[in-house]
Structure 1
């Protein structure tokens, strides 16, 4: 697969990837759709290489929601997320309202929600779950909070009880945060061992530590977002010694792209997975079957 392809050619390459595997499409657990003004600020931050990014981050795809949806659909992505996340109190509830509306008019988007350590968090998380939220986003780096904040304890308890997956950016890449790294997540899982955390970016750069946690806690999953791209190989290459655990934990590894806020083509992320040479069954699980099972997606006819 080649990056920097024209749009139509890239769609052909991506489609050929999953059709050659005999899949009904792709499931991408790590995509971002946000209110327009929020997305504009996020993209400006990436384009400027802000402190939490730490380096140049040229954006390949345009941010318009309709264009982004059309791109994923022409690629054959049958289900994806709208990972929204707050960076301060007072944002999460209205982000959840927006995301619920977006999911209601976008049937291939998994209804997504989020939270922040603040008074009332447990109430609006319960409201989101009751309204049908199927996945939550927790961004420890951007939010700058300890996931063990006492105000979040009832939130984690509810999400563990309901088995709702939580895509969690808790690794210290691309830039460490005050509460990033495996230790806060280890404490969280010891208190709530049934949490279905999806560790974003395979826990980059603390891959080994987060794989250790996945081995100890049977509901922990990991997503591949950016982990095997050229960008991340330069920043935090995946350790060769951990490659066998990609297979050992293969049924709990999920494909993620970070679309549309990525500095490379979508096909490039898939090529990075294929280049691992872990076999077609592994690719089928990562790119479709594991997430389809996690989110109970119906068979595509």
Structure 2
């Protein structure tokens, strides 16, 4: 799966980087050096793509700022779809925003996450070398829970569950805030560009509103089938996402967004 030359080449470079980090911390970390290297490498990659996340947050703020005006246009051009489309394009152009501003950064991040997933689940003997709390990094849940494996996997899975719950709760609050905007709907914060759902009548909006908050829990079934190294990666990257949300979106929670082009 995912086995083709370009991806394997990038994964090879990533594997070399993890090995170098492990060698660097080995004098202090001993047998846990590779586990620590996985965490450090994951954080380094997330820092590398932070500008994409910042761009995504800015796109969300601009769309939120435009939401009241979009709602007014929908009221005025409810029976004229072509006219509504023209006015929306003009509004986005005038505001210096883009209906895809919040989507493209997320799409651009996908290759990074694919490489990371492949790296920590490929069975590379170098990456899976070492151990954590006496458990080999290549150990799977299906290999048994004897000794330290049971408590270790239990702690990591509980951590993932807690992070998923926080992400789901945050998503529900974002959707509720979108519903409070003029002309907003339950999917205003998640249905797409500028609250693309046209009120509560948007096709599939109610179903999507129920499914979206469940998506963060998707890390749990993945954690059940990947080796310990993959679980450690999932916990690290999910925790980083929670930290990013707290830091980057804090200002948005304190003050309402504006249409300042330099924001």
TM bucket by the smaller chain? under 0.3
Higher Cα Rg, which structure: 2
Could you tell me the TM-score, scaled by structure 2's length? 0.25
Q: Which structure has the higher relative contact order (CA within 8 Å, separation 6+)?
A: 2
Structure with higher helix content = 2
Structure with higher strand content = 1
